[in-house]
Amino acid sequence: MRISFLSACVLLAIAGALFADQRTPPPGVKFEVVSVRVLSAKEAADRSPDFIGPNVAVRLRLSCAERGLYLYTWGDVVPVGYRVKWTERGVLWPHGMKGDDERPVSPGIKKLDALVPGKWLLLSGHNRPAIEWEELDSTSYHGEKHGFTIFIKDREKDEPTEIMTEPYVVPSDSP
């Protein structure tokens, strides 16, 4: 069976649209970047004493208006996921240690679970409608557009969905 070039392009566009929708939070759920700031040298050293580089604090907020949702975490209330990069080719995810290539497909929740087994926690729309936390980035990537992803699900038995923030521009360490 041969598929014409136009048919292949249409199929790719539809698949891309469906995949993009999976990254958009469901109705009533908001995942956003609240602020981005460069840390002082002391703050950066205090937050990552084992290695040099992370010197940008990115404040994130996950909220669910009237409903609850489950979030994937490694033990505390902070969700886990990936830092992503926006390029002219689209969104890229890391696929390994530094130096390994980035790909336009998420490594998925199984790769996170392989590092440290995680668990699902209920974020209630009534008792705790929102949480905020900080992730670290680095000015060595200044000018790039980055964002973060996390994994959520509506009900405990549902399949996980990866959602992402809108991009932010990584700042420079010079004023």
On whether residue 147 sits in a domain, the answer given is yes
Containing 4, the helix (H) or strand (E) segment is: none
CA dist., res. 43 & res. 54, Å (int): 10
**Structural domain count of the chain:** 1
CA dist., res. 142 & res. 97, Å (int): 20
Q: pLDDT tens across 100-119, in order?
A: 678 999 999 998 888 788 99
Q: pLDDT tens across 116-159, in order?
A: 889 999 887 666 688 999 999 999 999 999 999 999 998 889 99
On whether residue 22 sits in a domain, the answer given is yes
Q: pLDDT tens across 11-39, in order?
A: 334 334 334 434 777 888 999 999 999 99
On whether residue 175 sits in a domain, the answer given is no
CA angle 43, 83, 87 (to 5 degrees): 120
Instruction: Provide the residue range defining the domain that includes 66.
Output: 5-169
Return the CATH number at 91: 2.60.40
CA dist., res. 129 & res. 68, Å (int): 8
On whether residue 174 sits in a domain, the answer given is no
Q: pTM above the 0.85 mark?
A: no
CA dist., res. 173 & res. 56, Å (int): 9
Q: What is the pLDDT of residue 19?
A: 42
